[in-house]
Amino acid sequence: MEAAQSGWGIVVVAAGRGTRMGTVESKQYLLLKDKPIIVHTLELFEHMDEVIEIVLVVGAQDLARCEAFVQAYRLTKVTAVLEGGSERQHSVRLGLQALTGSWVMVHDGVRPLVSAKAVRTCMAAALSTEAAVLAVPVKDTIKQVNEAGVIIATPDRRSLWAIQTPQAFRRSLLIQAHEHAEQDGFLGTDDAMLVERLGVPVSVTEGEYTNIKITTPEDLPWAEFLLNGRGDKER
């Protein structure tokens, strides 16, 4: 009931430069089916009734064009376009401060293919536990390798999950986790890690293997293939 009354806020993080794509243009602004990747991402949340506000965090040099995207694509739920910090964690914290509701999801700007169904599953899990993430079971055998390139361990694959976004939290809890991390000078790899440091359990909800993060050149045609197969039925 609480989420139905207050709605969800979304922090979309897109301040990274991303060198692995090998392009002059930042990956979040590359075209996917004639539309910037970041716009696909924003449109998903724009069309969800549960979402009442979206904060987009980008690089300083991209503020003007992202504000133009908001107008051009009629992204009415985007309440702020903010300049990000030096690290992803800093950018998320800035986004959290700009939201007003009780519940928040943090999402990578370059994951444009997450489905509304998966997002709602993650939302439901967070409402029960206060902290939830999307993830998929690891398919491959994983090896732990030392600095000399020698295998030192083979973890049990059954216990390994690849973590995705969005990640969903009670906003006050995530703000507390970020404040503690800043006080300790701790830099985590995702928001769940910061919440874990508080001793708060984070539940894992199974997501979809199609929720890819566009990072390298081969990801772009794969994303277009997936988008073509999906059409508008899941948007």
Compute the C-alpha angle 11/180/177, nearest 5°: 40
Number of Cβ within a 10 Å radius of residue 153: 9
Phi, psi of 205 (to 5 degrees): -115, 130
Task: Of 129, 115, 118, give the one whose Cα is nearest residue 192.
Answer: 129
- Do 42 and 29 meet the contact criterion of CB atoms below 8 Å apart? no
This prediction has a pTM of 0.92
Task: Report residue 31: phi and psi, to 5°.
Answer: -85, 135
**Number of H helices and number of E strands within the chain?**
8, 9
| Domain formed by 2-230, architecture | Alpha-Beta Complex (3.90)
Is 155:142 a contact under the CB 8 Å cutoff?
A: yes
DSSP annotation of 194 reads H
| pLDDT tens, per residue, the chain with 235 residues | 444 446 999 999 998 765 555 566 788 999 998 899 999 999 999 999 999 999 999 999 999 999 999 999 999 999 999 999 999 999 999 999 999 999 999 999 999 999 999 999 999 999 999 999 999 999 999 999 999 999 999 999 989 999 999 999 999 999 999 999 999 999 999 999 999 999 999 999 999 999 999 998 889 999 999 998 876 545 4
